[in-house]
A and B are shown apart, each in its own frame.
Chain A
Amino acid sequence: MFLSKYFLVLFLTFFVLSITILNQGCKKIGNREELMVSEGNIEEFLKLPANSSLELKVVLADLRRQLSRQNFAAQFVQWHGQPQWSKAIKLHGKGGFFSLLIPCIKTNKVTTFIVASQKLGGGILFELHRRSSLDNKIPEYSYIGLNPNKVKNYFSLLELNLQGKELPSQSGSTASSVNDECFYTWWQWEICPMTLTKGEVDTLTPTNNAVAIIQYCWVEHTYEWPDCEPGTGNPSGGGGGGGCTNCPQPPDCLNPYWYSFVPVEDPCDDNPPNPPTLTPCERVILGCQKASALFKASQQPNMAARKAEITSQFFPNIERCFWFGKNLSTDLILTTTNILPGPAGNNITVTPYPPSSLGQLLTYGAAHTHTDSGYSAPSPGDIYNFRWVNSINSNFWDYFNFSSGQNEYAFIVTDTVLFRNFGLNWSPDVYFDDSTGDWKEGTEIFIAKQNAFDYFVEVMNKTEDEAFELAQAFIARKYQTGLTIAKMDAQGNFKPIFVNEISDSSNPSNKTYQQTIICNLNFIVIEL
């Protein structure tokens, strides 16, 4: 009896201790009750100084979009504190356009920093690094490619930066390897130093240097941490810029970026909820925004200039092409090749990379012309051509064609799996006729296209060009190409083209076709 009582007390003590240890080992900032807060003011949360960098604006635009779907601003502030957008520092990581480290403060301390990284294709990826993880010795991972060994040091750097303690900018350290954990190299958005040459000024900064106004630039800083012990993540150590070759592999996760970023989740949570994924209709909206931005002179001057050049003249029977991309993966302003004419016969084949004679480029896409004798809209050959170039160059996601009369089109990839499988499901050997550039006569796709084309010409009184455009848009969806055709409007914005096939309710075998502004890709009505 005494023994059993003793055993019960011992067991309860052990149980309570275990719970306490578990809680200590996985200490969270706040608790579930604290999460029950009202929605935050998104604009207040995202408030930026007027002179902020374009990179920060791009990041916040993406965040604003996400917050409009799920407003986690208040929860975020409660968990992690208010992000100090103006204190963001920039790293030039491998493979992406840029990475920003944005500190979040709570009770005057940097509790967390956000890493926002623009990747190939333009999307922004986010991840969080928490001081609580470091304090609780939870392993640091980075899906974006930050060296996890340097996270602790970035906290120190951001803390010093926030306190206004200026770390000396050093020369001669920039050659240090990004894996060298004793060196930091980063950029801060500051008033341009007088000594800065134009080449040193970030390409996105105001360029009118002659005007005596205050200009802001990304100013490079380097710092060698004293008494550094490389490879340990020692707080007295330092860090450079990008990823590392021997970093620990992050665990598998459906969407690791969201897993790391959504504020109601935490490394202590075992089962993160499934991350939200973009619907095809959302991808269309984003894809059109991105395609439009590519030709805005204010954002991509080289692209806008080359488009103006190629569309200034359309040669009879000869299509022309230029490729675009980056010279360095860190470039923000895209570079274009010169314009290359194709063979006679409206028969250009866009290749995955520009010919070597035009120079080497980290190629993201191409734009070609259609002549006046061809149809304006993307042809079946264009669909297969795009699929082919993407299969060889996995960075190639932007495919445009321009015709006279300001008929300018983009393919928007709305489903990468469907896009990649299209050529397998509907092989060009069977469904494409290279001699005519059309779907192969007599095939299912050919008949579907011809039915839609005839309907738009004969019933809807469209011109043949308009009918071809609508028929191709219809085929792109019906045969699950994973693509949506978008057309540029007078304001320079690409708008998607959607066509529905409607069965007559009194006689389902009678088909009619209707253009709509309602996105019909995921059967969720989204007005665009």
Chain B
Amino acid sequence: MKYKITLLFVLAVLIINTSSLAQVDTFAYAKNFELQKSQYAGLPMSSLLSNMGGLQFLSVFSGINVKNKYHIPYSTFFFEAPGNRFYQGVIGVTIHWQTPILSTDVQYYRNRNHAYFTNEERQFYGTKIIKDIKVYRR
């Protein structure tokens, strides 16, 4: 009985550590793109997407410009599905665009795919030119 409890405890600790490590790894992974932003600035987003490994974006949310709601100045990409994006501490990669994206274009994809980062989004955003990259925990 005693051994079983110990085993369960060790397993729990391992699971928690693994989950934390995964978060740390995701953060470090995303931060790496921020550190190398000068390498991507001025290039289409497809260059960044092609350099990504196994960890891919699963959702995208639009930023806003309070002074002009028709222009999307930045978008934030998550390694989580849209439904999990509202967990505290999830990591978002915010990409500012060289030229703001028209909100009508973004709305088209939002209505179609509901914030999922599908191949359609990959193609749409892939052509947009990166101005800056910032990484935040939400």
With contact pairs A438-B64, A455-B86 given, residues A464 and B69 touching in the complex (Cβ less than 8 Å): yes
Q: Which residue of B lies closest to A439 (CB)?
A: B66
Instruction: Mark interface residues in A438-460 (1 if CB within 8 Å of B CB, else 0).
Output: 10011000010011011101110
Q: Which of B70, B86, B110, B134 sits near A451, CB closer than 8 Å?
A: B86
Chain A residues, Cβ within 8 Å of B70: 373
With contact pairs A436-B73, A450-B76, A454-B61 given, residues A509 and B89 touching in the complex (Cβ less than 8 Å): yes
19 A–B contacts, CB within 8 A, in A order: A347-B67, A373-B67, A375-B64, A375-B66, A375-B69, A379-B66, A380-B66, A441-B74, A442-B136, A450-B63, A450-B76, A450-B138, A457-B61, A458-B82, A468-B64, A468-B69, A507-B87, A509-B89, A511-B88
Q: Which residue of A lies closest to B71 (CB)?
A: A373
Q: Among residues 480 to 528 in chain A, which have CB atoms less than 8 Å away from a CB atom of chain B?
A: 507, 509-512
Beta-carbon contact of B136 and A511 below 8 Å: no
Q: Say how far A379's CB is from chain B's closest CB, in angstroms.
A: 5
Chain B residues, Cβ within 8 Å of A468: 64, 66, 69
Beta-carbon contact of B65 and A438 below 8 Å: yes
Chain B residues, Cβ within 8 Å of A510: 84, 86-88
With contact pairs A458-B115, A509-B88, A511-B86 given, residues A441 and B94 touching in the complex (Cβ less than 8 Å): yes
Q: Say how far A467's CB is from chain B's closest CB, in angstroms.
A: 9
Q: Say how far B39's CB is from chain A's closest CB, in angstroms.
A: 21
Q: How far is the CA of A375 from the CA of B65 in the complex (A)?
A: 9
With contact pairs A458-B61, A458-B115 given, residues A374 and B134 touching in the complex (Cβ less than 8 Å): no
With an 8 Å Cβ cutoff, the count of chain A residues facing the other chain is: 31
Q: Say how far A386's CB is from chain B's closest CB, in angstroms.
A: 16
Q: Which residue of B lies closest to A503 (CB)?
A: B88
Beta-carbon contact of A447 and B136 below 8 Å: yes
Q: Say how far A466's CB is from chain B's closest CB, in angstroms.
A: 12
Q: Which residue of B lies closest to A464 (CB)?
A: B69
**A240 within 8 Å of B by Cβ?**
no
Beta-carbon contact of B87 and A374 below 8 Å: no
Q: Which residue of A lies closest to B74 (CB)?
A: A441
The 10 closest A-B pairs by CB, nearest first: A437-B66, A509-B88, A438-B66, A454-B61, A437-B67, A346-B67, A458-B115, A379-B66, A373-B68, A509-B87
Chain B residues, Cβ within 8 Å of A511: 86-88
**A381 within 8 Å of B by Cβ?**
yes
**B98 within 8 Å of A by Cβ?**
no
Chain A residues, Cβ within 8 Å of B84: 510
Instruction: Mark interface residues in B104-138 (1 if CB within 8 Å of A CB, else 0).
Output: 00000010001100000000000000000010101
Beta-carbon contact of A454 and B66 below 8 Å: no
Q: How far is the CA of A454 from the CA of B86 in the complex (A)?
A: 9
Chain B residues, Cβ within 8 Å of A438: 64-66
Q: Among residues 9 to 38 in chain B, which have CB atoms less than 8 Å away from a CB atom of chain A?
A: none
**A190 within 8 Å of B by Cβ?**
no
**B103 within 8 Å of A by Cβ?**
yes
Q: Among residues 359 to 386 in chain A, which have CB atoms less than 8 Å away from a CB atom of chain B?
A: 373-375, 379-381
Chain A residues, Cβ within 8 Å of B63: 450
**A465 within 8 Å of B by Cβ?**
yes
Q: Which residue of A lies closest to B84 (CB)?
A: A510
Q: Say how far A49's CB is from chain B's closest CB, in angstroms.
A: 53
Chain B residues, Cβ within 8 Å of A121: none
Q: Say how far B112's CB is from chain A's closest CB, in angstroms.
A: 13
Q: Which residue of A lies closest to B106 (CB)?
A: A464
Q: Which residue of A lies closest to B88 (CB)?
A: A509
Instruction: Mark interface residues in A278-297 (1 if CB within 8 Å of B CB, else 0).
Output: 00000000000000000000
Beyond contacts A345-B67, A441-B74, A457-B62: 15 other A-B pairs, Cβ-Cβ < 8 A, are A346-B67, A375-B64, A379-B66, A438-B64, A450-B61, A450-B76, A451-B86, A451-B138, A453-B64, A454-B86, A459-B86, A468-B64, A509-B88, A510-B87, A511-B86
Q: Say how far B70's CB is from chain A's closest CB, in angstroms.
A: 6
Beta-carbon contact of A346 and B68 below 8 Å: yes
Chain B residues, Cβ within 8 Å of A457: 61-62, 110
Beta-carbon contact of A436 and B134 below 8 Å: no
Q: Which residue of B lies closest to A377 (CB)?
A: B66
Beta-carbon contact of A442 and B134 below 8 Å: yes
Beta-carbon contact of A374 and B138 below 8 Å: no
Q: How far is the CA of A71 from the CA of B112 in the complex (A)?
A: 59
Chain B residues, Cβ within 8 Å of A464: 64, 69, 103
Q: Say how far B26's CB is from chain A's closest CB, in angstroms.
A: 15
Q: Which residue of B lies closest to A509 (CB)?
A: B88
Beta-carbon contact of B136 and A374 below 8 Å: no
Q: Say how far A446's CB is from chain B's closest CB, in angstroms.
A: 9
